[in-house]
Structure 1
Amino acid sequence: MRIAFLTAPEGVEQSELTEPWQAVVDAGGEPVLVSTERGRVQAFDHLDKADTFPVQETVGEVSAESFDGLVLPGGVANPDILRGDERAVSFVRDFFDQGRPVAAICHAPWTLVEADVVRGRVLTSWPSLRTDIRNAGGEWVDEQVRICDHGPNTLITSRKPDDLKAFCDALVSEFGIKAT
């Protein structure tokens, strides 16, 4: 299974990228780093620069049809930059339109709000996003991980890096990733 990991060129929380990535690899899936620009993605450990990672594909080169699921890592800057890029927002929206599973952690639901896909859904996030989620028609809950089956696809959300184990376990299970 090919799983897209969508990040901005800068600002992704490193652990929220690398731990789900490794969970997909360990389960036999193929993670693909997708960004809005070619080159490398600059990750952060909270506010400090961390490692960089090579972009494999850009949102202008691929479509949701090329993937079996989507992971949106957090970090404060990452989703804020993504929600300002119409190609990225459209890419996210297409996963919902096509009924493909999506997983988002921490601040990543900002991109979901911009894509107008939280209406009628129950999700969690970093607590400061609760008003944005409610204003977009979603229901915010304070839970380690929330799986919302609404319509044809599944949305998995988590609050923060401390929730990564539960997030990764839910992602692998709900995406149906199985080693071949």
Structure 2
Amino acid sequence: MNKKYLAFATIFFITACSEMESSNNKFSSGENIDEKVTQYADCIKTQNYICATSFMLPSLVQSVGGADKMVTILSRIAEKGSSKGLIIDPSKTTYGTHGKIVKDKKELVSVIPYVQHGTYKGSDAEIQASLIAFSNDNGRSWFFLEGSDENQMVIANQNPRLLQLISIPMPIMKFDNYTFIQKNGEWVNVVSP
């Protein structure tokens, strides 16, 4: 009886493993990226910078000294914008559909557009920007990096080929009849009334 049980258990185990392997091969990186963007968006909308940091590119987080330092940096960015008259309402941030997911060696990459709403010196303002999404495990987990020109340099230093595979729109801020683009982390006026 033990041999029959052992044979049955072995066949069951092999079948179960085959099913698990089969379902892993059907894994949809596109569905998972949407789920992760939603989770990241919830962190941003509630200004939970600890949560947001957990979705950021680990190499970036480590380069600034770890998660605690990144949380401090995110808080300071909001304060700096506010001191210059730019007040973003994170609860009104909307994320678009991710772009094409491209593969470079073991890394998947995609670009997700988003729009932030707020005020700049009392006038309604809108920022159009993007996140760059990275996955090193075939789309099971995704990490994000803002699509700023500074962060594009981070990518260029780590893997310059990626910038040839994806198109990252330049961040734009509009208010009244003014249009600003982001250069070297600063907003530069390109269109004025």
Same fold at TM > 0.5: no
Name the structure with the higher helix share: 2
By relative contact order (CA 8 Å, sep 6+), the higher-ranking structure is: 1
Of structures 1 and 2, the larger Rg is shown by 2
| Bucket of the pairwise TM-score, normalised by the shorter protein | under 0.3
